[in-house]
Chains A and B, each alone.
Chain A
């Protein structure tokens, strides 16, 4: 089975712009979670989508949003980018049932100038 894929792998934006990142889960997985990793804050949970609905949400401002499509692919969007949004954005997929192991993609590295 192919693993979790994320596009693009690298991205450079400027402050005030918006960005959309994409995640394709492992085939058959219905849950997609997004995480942000920065040197200062480490790996932090953003939100989870299951069957096109946001099921869990972390403690991030409303500038961070996401959605999931009927084929389980997910996108996350960050509007009005700030310098502090520079990070590695990771998505993880699982089948979405209880106590399922999450499998992570390689991440998208976003640099905000």
Chain B
């Protein structure tokens, strides 16, 4: 799996958009970008994933650059309940069931 790099921590004011970056400069053509988050001591929660097109669901939007070397997870209106560690993972078909988690970004949403 390609290595991903994320900032260790970020702050965001409640109600504002949270933009979480991820660098995956060595990603290969068949690797998807997955985002999970983990709220304190709970199991990771799936957020969104994509290959090369931008994706949106009820939780977030995923913007992947054209060269696929980086991506941004956008939480459009962050709330206090979005405070969590966010993991960006590159995974291909053969490794989708054995995710390699990095250290993630600790997002703190404040009033």
Contact = CB atoms under 8 A, between A and B. Distances in A.
B98 A98 contact: no
A43 B44 contact: yes
Nearest to B41: A88
A42 interface: yes
B101 A42 contact: yes
Contact of B97 (A43, A56, A88): A56
Contacts of A4: 43
Contacts of B36: 104
Contacts, number: 64
Nearest to B43: A104
Q: Which of A58, A94, A99 has the largest number of chain B CB atoms within 10 A?
A: A99
Contacts of B91: 99
A106 B43 contact: yes
Interface in B87-106: 87, 91-93, 96-103
A37 to B, nearest CB: 8
Interface string A71-110: 0000000000000000010101010101111111111010
Interface size class of B (residues with CB under 8 A): 20 to 34
A52 B87 CA distance: 29
Contacts of A24: none
B96 A104 contact: no
B107 to A, nearest CB: 17
B101 A43 contact: yes
Q: Which of B96, B97, B98, B99 has the largest number of chain A CB atoms within 10 A?
A: B97
Contacts of B102: 42
B103 A42 contact: yes
A48 B43 contact: no
The 4 closest A-B pairs by CB, nearest first: A104-B43, A43-B101, A98-B93, A45-B98
